[in-house]
Amino acid sequence: MRAVVCIEARLEPADAPPPVPGPGQVRIEVLRCGVCGSDLHAREHCDELAEVLLEAGYDGFMRSSQRVVFGHEFCGVVAEHGPACERKVTEGTHVVALPLLRTADGVQAIGLCAAAPGGYAEQMLVQESLMLAVPNGLAPDTSALTEPMAVAWHAVRRSEVRKRDVAIVIGCGPIGLAVICMLKAKGVRTIVASDLAPGRRRLAEACGADVTVDPGESSPFAAAGDRGHLETIPAAFELALDTIERLRRLPVAWHRIWRGIDAIGIKPAAPVVFECVGVPGVIEQIVSGAPLLSRIVVVGVCMGEDRFRPSMAVNKQIDLRFVLGYTPLEFRDTLHMLADGKVDASPLLTGRVGLEGVADAFTALGDPDRHAKILVDPAIVGAGVHG
């Protein structure tokens, strides 16, 4: 079979023996596989990332000297069950799967390690227990978006954003756009999207952003108008004094009412900010630009070290959260949200390539104004990115 191998940052189509499913594994024929920002990152920086993951106890992450087949955002057709499979999902069924594979050396990340080749290939192995039949005849183009959309769904869930909160998405690459789609699906009423590239701002609108901002021209934190956010420290001082002075005028002891307000969960309004850029300095920009009490959810993966001023975050009581991946339940729910039409991810899809065109896709994704998500379709012959 054909596969695209990455070695020393080069992407080369090559012949490979068809994979043989081990116990609990299933061989699938790949229909589509998304090119992910993580693949672009890993191609250039995998050794650095491998060191970070090794420190956290995972020694399987790819090294630049290894032969790796990328691709963790795939859908395919069941072709062969390995031994000890349940076989509830039969051959010929369209499926997606979480990109983890149990091997003799432990559980490996499919498409980002040498021991578990990914979906830039005609065939690949998945774990039967993590495989889901595609419902409702959902098209392969959309099914392949389950993985990146699940990343966004997890980020939105971890953010604990409410419908009435202002959500501000910084960076409208594929992950930022997916977050916007999922915020929309959740019913968040005010979504601000910020990106320097006009093409990405147009995609953000198509995904459901209510306001788009060029951060070179104006602040994304002011774009939703006056929502009662605390913009300055004096505003917080004023709010504290105003509140207690008002409560002291009431016939009940002020501390009892305050405790009641706390118990109901009434708090000063603050936005939820999604960092979807992942380059040094962005967290600091958000910490210094965002209103007091903002919750920052970091989805973008910044390589290397970064700096921000804790004193600014402390004085604003910024809530900083980091997110990764999704649970099997979130993955399953995302698939069904796509299949039931509860979320429309179609604006993300900007191009298609065959296996010979994967290197072209990596180049094309370097231009932020043209492409968001490019899908690899092994049935496409020849190089080049198709619209």
> What's the min distance (Å) between Cβ of 38 and Zn ion?
4
In the region spanning residues 253 to 272, those forming contacts with Zn ion, defined by CB under 5 A, are none
38/127 with CB nearer Zn ion: 38
> What's the min distance (Å) between Cβ of 141 and Zn ion?
17
> What's the min distance (Å) between Cβ of 72 and Zn ion?
6
Instruction: Provide the token pair at 42.
Output: 């890993």
Question: What is the DSSP code (8-state) at residue 121?
Answer: B
Q: Which helix (H) or strand (E) holds 106?
A: strand 106-109
Note whether 152 binds Zn ion by CB under 5 A.
no
CA distance 158 to 172: 19
36/156 with CB nearer Zn ion: 36
36/185 with CB nearer Zn ion: 36
Residues 6+ apart with CB under 8 A from 291: 221, 229, 230, 231, 270, 271, 316
In the region spanning residues 312 to 341, those forming contacts with Zn ion, defined by CB under 5 A, are none
Instruction: Provide the token pair at 200.
Output: 């990405």
143/294 with CB nearer Zn ion: 143
The span of 22-30, 37-45, 87-95, 366-374 binding Zn ion (CB under 5 A) equals 37-45
> What's the min distance (Å) between Cβ of 119 and Zn ion?
11
In contact, 62 and 110? CB cutoff 8 Å: no
The identity of residue 214, as a single letter, is D
178/192 with CB nearer Zn ion: 178
> What's the min distance (Å) between Cβ of 180 and Zn ion?
17
Note whether 372 binds Zn ion by CB under 5 A.
no
Question: What is the DSSP code (8-state) at residue 101?
Answer: E
Note whether 207 binds Zn ion by CB under 5 A.
no
CA distance 266 to 355: 54
CA distance 329 to 331: 5
Instruction: Provide the token pair at 366.
Output: 């370097």
CA distance 384 to 359: 9
From residue 366, alpha-carbon distances to 163, 179, 198 in Å are 34, 20, 15
72/295 with CB nearer Zn ion: 72
Residue nearest to Zn ion (CB): 36
Note whether 375 binds Zn ion by CB under 5 A.
no
Q: Which of 36, 110, 161, 376 binds Zn ion (CB under 5 A)?
A: 36
> What's the min distance (Å) between Cβ of 25 and Zn ion?
21
CA distance 292 to 315: 8
36/276 with CB nearer Zn ion: 36
In contact, 134 and 339? CB cutoff 8 Å: yes
> What's the min distance (Å) between Cβ of 287 and Zn ion?
26
295/373 with CB nearer Zn ion: 373
42/283 with CB nearer Zn ion: 42
The span of 38-46, 161-169, 203-211, 257-265 binding Zn ion (CB under 5 A) equals 38-46
> What's the min distance (Å) between Cβ of 120 and Zn ion?
13
Q: Which of 11, 26, 29, 38 binds Zn ion (CB under 5 A)?
A: 38
Computed over its alpha carbons, how large is the radius of gyration of the chain?
23
Instruction: Provide the token pair at 160.
Output: 């604990």
CA 284 to chain centre: 21
Note whether 146 binds Zn ion by CB under 5 A.
no
> Strands 211-213 and 190-194, how do they pair?
parallel
The identity of residue 241, as a single letter, is L
> What's the min distance (Å) between Cβ of 3 and Zn ion?
18
Residues that bind Zn ion (CB under 5 A): 36, 38
